[in-house]
């Protein structure tokens, strides 16, 4: 732990501008879930922005009204569009937030100096095939009926939102997480736009294919994950190999269960590609 703390509080070189980390939450969470990482990184001198995607965190939208991935991802698109042309950020996505990272690489390759996936869906073109769904969507069927579903388009149509039931959250999401973080999540979690997420598809922008491939990607594998299982994470890395891969001893939520180690790995990833 001492080594992890030392990594997490790495001093910045005075001659370089501190890198700007942009953190993207996963399904049912919001910018609030990054509070420990934001604190650790900011006291070490880094710039950190946490985004609430549509229907998440304090965004007032209802998940049942979102029918496309671009709708859900609009706050991140707006943020990246607002950056100066020469600005570059390190984009970090957790779980379903990996879809937002990949989409952003394709839309804004010049504004992203590093993409980091934490236990995240890392599929180059989103959900195009049955193999994509197998690798990139958590399969929790072995645990029974774990979701509360919403049907914004009517009961005769596929569900539009989903939220893991309270009785399953500790077991699946937070089994290595301190109890106080579980209590926080119980207060803050919201239904996720299931239809918008599971229909996410990406296409390479014409003329930008080479620029997209030049954005280095790092994958952080969560070793004790019961949601995005380690074998799913391995399958996605095998299909679209990242520049670097690291492991963290955590459940699906390392920002709660092992924040010092995760913070250290984010800094290590930035160092590995010369962003620090």
- pLDDT tens for 175-224 read 999 999 999 999 999 999 999 999 999 876 665 666 778 899 999 999 99
Cα–Cα dist 68/34, whole Å: 25
Is 45 within 8 Å of 18 (Cβ atoms)?
A: yes
- pLDDT tens for 30-77 read 999 999 999 999 999 999 999 999 999 999 999 999 999 999 999 999
Tokens of 109: 């390759």
Kind and range of the H or E element at 159?
A: none
Tokens of 54: 């549509």
Tokens of 117: 């996936």
Among all residues, which ones are annotated catalytic?
95, 225, 252
pLDDT, position 9: 46
Kind and range of the H or E element at 103?
A: helix 97-107
3-state SS class at 101 = helix
pLDDT, position 273: 72
Burial class (CB in 10 A: 0-12, 13-18, 19+), 244: middle
- pLDDT tens for 231-275 read 999 999 999 999 999 999 999 999 999 999 999 999 999 998 776
Tokens of 213: 């491939």
Under the banding of pLDDT at 50, 70 and 90, the label for residue 4 is very low
Q: What is the pTM of this model?
A: 0.91
């Amino acid at each position: 732990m001492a080594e992890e703390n030392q990594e997490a509080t790495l001093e910045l070189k005075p001659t370089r501008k501190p890198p700007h980390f942009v953190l993207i939450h996963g399904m049912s969470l919001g910018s609030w879930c990054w509070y420990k990482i934001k604190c650790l990184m900011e006291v070490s001198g880094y710039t950190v922005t946490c985004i609430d995607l549509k229907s998440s965190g304090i965004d007032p939208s209802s998940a049942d009204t979102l029918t496309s991935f671009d709708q859900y991802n609009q706050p991140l698109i707006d943020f990246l569009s607002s950056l100066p042309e020469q600005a570059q950020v390190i984009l970090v996505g957790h779980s379903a937030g990996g879809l937002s990272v990949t989409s952003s690489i394709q839309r804004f390759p010049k504004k992203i100096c590093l993409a980091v996936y934490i236990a995240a869906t890392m599929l180059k073109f989103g959900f195009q095939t049955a193999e994509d769904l197998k690798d990139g969507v958590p399969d929790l069927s072995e645990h029974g009926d774990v979701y509360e579903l919403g049907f914004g388009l009517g009961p005769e149509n596929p569900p539009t939102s989903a939220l893991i039931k309270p009785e399953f959250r500790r077991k699946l999401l937070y089994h290595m997480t301190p109890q106080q973080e579980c209590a926080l999540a119980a207060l803050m979690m919201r239904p996720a736009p299931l239809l918008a997420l599971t229909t996410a598809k990406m296409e390479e922008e014409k003329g930008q294919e080479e620029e997209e491939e030049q954005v280095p990607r790092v994958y952080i594998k969560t070793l004790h994950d019961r949601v995005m299982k380690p074998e799913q994470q391995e399958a996605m890395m095998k299909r679209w190999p990242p520049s670097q891969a690291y492991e963290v001893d955590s459940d699906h939520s390392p920002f709660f269960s092992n924040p010092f180690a995760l913070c250290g790995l984010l800094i290590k990833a930035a160092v590995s590609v010369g962003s620090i």
